[in-house]
Amino acid sequence: MARWFRILSHEVSPLLLTAAAAVLVVGFAGGRAEAAAGGPFLAHQALYELKLVKSRGSTSINSARGRILYNFSGSACEGYTSEFRQVSELDNGEGKLTLSDLRSTSWEDGEGKSYRFKIATRMNEAESSPVDGIAERSGGQITVKLKQPEAKTFTLDGATVFPTEQITRIIAAAREGKSVLELSVYDGSDNGEKVYNTLSVIGQPIPGDRSIETPDPSIANDAMKSLTRWPVTVSYYDRDAKTRDGEQTPVYAMSFELFENGVSRALVLDYNDFVISGALGKFDIKDSKPCR
């Protein structure tokens, strides 16, 4: 159960974060953001319905269900705010249910220079220590100041990116026809000290007029119908883990279709032992103020 809790807490990366996921709606300041994305990022609320796709190996999970609610707002000039909540229920088939509730809020400066985050998790009736901190980029390095779970200050390599810049670079790479992108990412997950090495694999562009078997509210929305999207898989690796025979298994991977305005659909979360899908059940565009 503790291992599931640790893995489920990663779903804040939006990708997941960023993914996120995830779930993954971001922006980058000034002309760089507009050039990378080909237009402004869309402020919206998305609800994803989660269910078990399959389980593997020795792990026995009979069913899984849950929801992700994601709110994104802001602009390149005022920064971007993300609010994320995921509630998941796992059934191991022995009459034991594991209910996890993860909540996250974050704000990222439009130029990727500052990142503030708060993360709270609950497993059944037990609450984990919250994570609260700020990361500032200056002088070729990143300084992280944690308030919780304990007061601590440390530095990261300046090449590390925050979640919004991660997704911005994925969109820029997709527009340039690149199929692979490697980045080190810091999102404040785990105890606030973890940095992940990520490998993004980008597929061929999908034109907006291509029909699909399982349409969802994003495809049906008039503002989205003409937009290009790309199939993307982002694998997250523990930077500090030792490799065996030169190969390393990702801690988890997120797959999704990423629109050119930052909206994601067809989410799949792969935790090695089991795979969960996230179908977009509700999608609402929010009012936003463009930069002057």
pLDDT per residue over 25-74, tens digit each? 332 223 333 334 345 678 899 999 999 998 886 667 788 899 999 998 88
Cis peptide, bond prior to residue 290, ω within 30 of zero: no
Residue 58 in domain: yes
Residue 79 within any structural domain of the chain: yes
Q: Is residue 131 a part of any domain in this protein?
A: no
Residue 133 lies in a domain: no
Q: How many domains does the chain have?
A: 1
**Residue 97 corresponds to which amino acid?**
L
Domain contains 140: no
**What is the reported pLDDT for 59?**
64
Which tokens is 212 given? 């699909």
Instruction: Residue 262: give the domain boundaries.
Output: 2-123+159-285
pLDDT in tens, 106-152: 999 988 899 999 999 888 888 888 999 999 999 899 999 999 999 99
Instruction: Tell me if 102 is assigned to some domain.
Output: yes
pTM for this prediction: 0.83
Name the 3-class secondary structure at 230. strand
Residue 71 lies in a domain: yes
DSSP symbols for 5-37:
HHHHGGGGSEETBEEE---------HHHHHHHH
Distance between CA 110 and CA 76 in Å, rounded? 5
pLDDT at 29: 29
Q: pLDDT at residue 95 above 90?
A: no
Q: Is 40 left (phi over 0), alpha (psi -120 to 50) or beta?
A: beta
